[in-house]
Amino acid sequence: MTNLIKRASAEARAFGRKKDNSKSKRKRDEDDLANAPRIDAPRKPRFAPVTFSEEGGVRYLHFGTEWVQGAMRLKKPDHIELEYAQQMMAWLLFIETPARIVQLGLGAAALTKFCYRFLKRAQVEAVELNPAVVIAARAMFELPYDDARLTVTERDAWEFVNDRANHGTIGALQIDLYDATARGPVLDSVSFYRACRACLTPQAGVVTINLFGDHPSFVRNMRHLNEAFDHRVIALPEVHDGNRVAIAFAGPALDIAFAALETRAKLVEAQLGLPARKWVKGVAESAGVATSGSFTI
Determine, yes or no, domain membership for 145: yes
Reported as type and span, the H/E element at residue 258 is: helix 258-272
Report pLDDT for 40: 44
Determine, yes or no, domain membership for 252: yes
Determine, yes or no, domain membership for 49: no
Report pLDDT for 181: 64
Report pLDDT for 240: 74
What is the value of pTM for the model shown? 0.84
Report pLDDT for 209: 97
DSSP assignment string, 33-102: HHHSPP--SPPPPPPPPPEEEEETTEEEEESSSSS--EEEETTBTTS--SHHHHHTTGGGGTSPPPSEEE
Determine, yes or no, domain membership for 154: yes
Q: Do 166 and 205 touch, CB atoms closer than 8 A?
A: no
Domain that holds residue 98: 83-288
Report pLDDT for 180: 60
Report pLDDT for 168: 98
Handedness of CA 101, 105, 110, 113 (dihedral sign): positive
Determine, yes or no, domain membership for 161: yes
Determine, yes or no, domain membership for 33: no
CATH number at residue 277: 3.40.50.150
Number of domains forming the structure of the chain: 1
- The string of pLDDT tens digits covering residues 29-83 is 444 544 544 444 444 445 789 999 999 999 999 998 888 999 999 999 999 999 9
Report pLDDT for 35: 53
Determine, yes or no, domain membership for 5: no
Report pLDDT for 16: 52
Determine, yes or no, domain membership for 28: no
Report pLDDT for 17: 43
Residues of the chain with pLDDT below 50 are 1-9, 11-13, 15, 17-20, 22-23, 25, 27, 29-31, 33-34, 36-45
Q: Do 217 and 211 touch, CB atoms closer than 8 A?
A: yes
For residue 188, give the nearest of 160, 215, 222, 214 by alpha carbon.
222
Report pLDDT for 41: 44
Report pLDDT for 19: 45
